[in-house]
Amino acid sequence: MCSRSGNLIAILFLILCNSLKAQNPRANDVTAPLHALAPSYPVPYTIPKTEEIKAVLIRVYNYLDSVTPFQFTNRLTNEAVKGLSNIDTNTIVKPGDFRLTSYEWGVVYSGMLRAGEITNDDRFTNYAKNRMNFIANSIDAFRALYQKYPTRSNPFRQPIDPRALDDAGAMCAAMIKTFRAGSQQNLRPIIDNYINYISTKEFRLS
């Protein structure tokens, strides 16, 4: 009885295997070594070409450039704010998908600078330079506004008055890299302010 059951199971197994093979007649370890078979992964499991990598980088750049505008708007009227003499506590950076002074965007700026260095494509480098210079050119006016209204909203509160390492670390590193890449000299006071916070105000064990 056991022998008959075993034979029946073996027959059914062979039928199933043949059926699967008919449905998916791919090479297997019988017809080729496993290491020589192309894996059926959703993401291609190959060494990418330089052109393919740059195409992805440009696609990422085009998206980020379009969703991180560097201009001011009034949050109540949604009208563009023209000139730093017209800013007030309702002035914000035009909303996009990400914030220009966040920890995460410090990492992005460094990545853009590195991509520009590797690809010799100024689009990546200028992504960081344009936004860093936008901050540097505007921060004095917003610092004066912050000193007058310290409890009100201010789009540049983080670089003006950092209160945590996330406010300062990645942005400071990215600004140093942008400064070294030939950006405006007025980045230096912001860098120094970041460094002063990191060195003397960030909580440390004795």
**pLDDT tens-digit profile of 19-60?**
555 555 566 667 777 777 777 788 777 888 999 999 999 999
Q: Place 136 in a pLDDT band, splitting at 50, 70 and 90.
A: very high
User: With contact defined as beta carbons under 8 Å apart, do 82 and 91 qualify?
Assistant: no
Q: What are phi and psi of 81, to 5 degrees?
A: -95, 115
Q: How far apart are alpha carbons 109 and 126 in whole angstroms?
A: 10
SS3 call for 36: helix
**pLDDT value for 47:** 85
The beta-carbon contacts of 83-90 under 8 Å, at least 24 apart in sequence, are 84/138, 84/141, 85/141, 87/141, 87/142, 87/145, 88/145, 89/145, 89/149, 89/152, 89/153, 89/154, 90/153
**pLDDT value for 137:** 95
Give 85-118 as a 3 state SS string: HHCCCCEEECCCCCCCCCHHHHHHHHHHHHHHHH
Mean pLDDT for the chain overall: 88
SS3 call for 33: coil
Q: What are phi and psi of 59, to 5 degrees?
A: -65, -40
Q: How far apart are alpha carbons 54 and 49 in whole angstroms?
A: 9
**pLDDT value for 35:** 72
Percent of the residues in the chain that have a pLDDT greater than 90, as a whole number: 72
Predicted confidence (pLDDT) per residue in 148-184, tens digit:
999 999 999 999 999 999 999 999 999 999 999 887 7
Low-confidence winner among 11-15, 23-27, 141-145 (lowest mean pLDDT): 23-27
**pLDDT value for 48:** 87
Query: For 15, which DSSP code?
Result: H
**pLDDT value for 203:** 81
**pLDDT value for 61:** 97
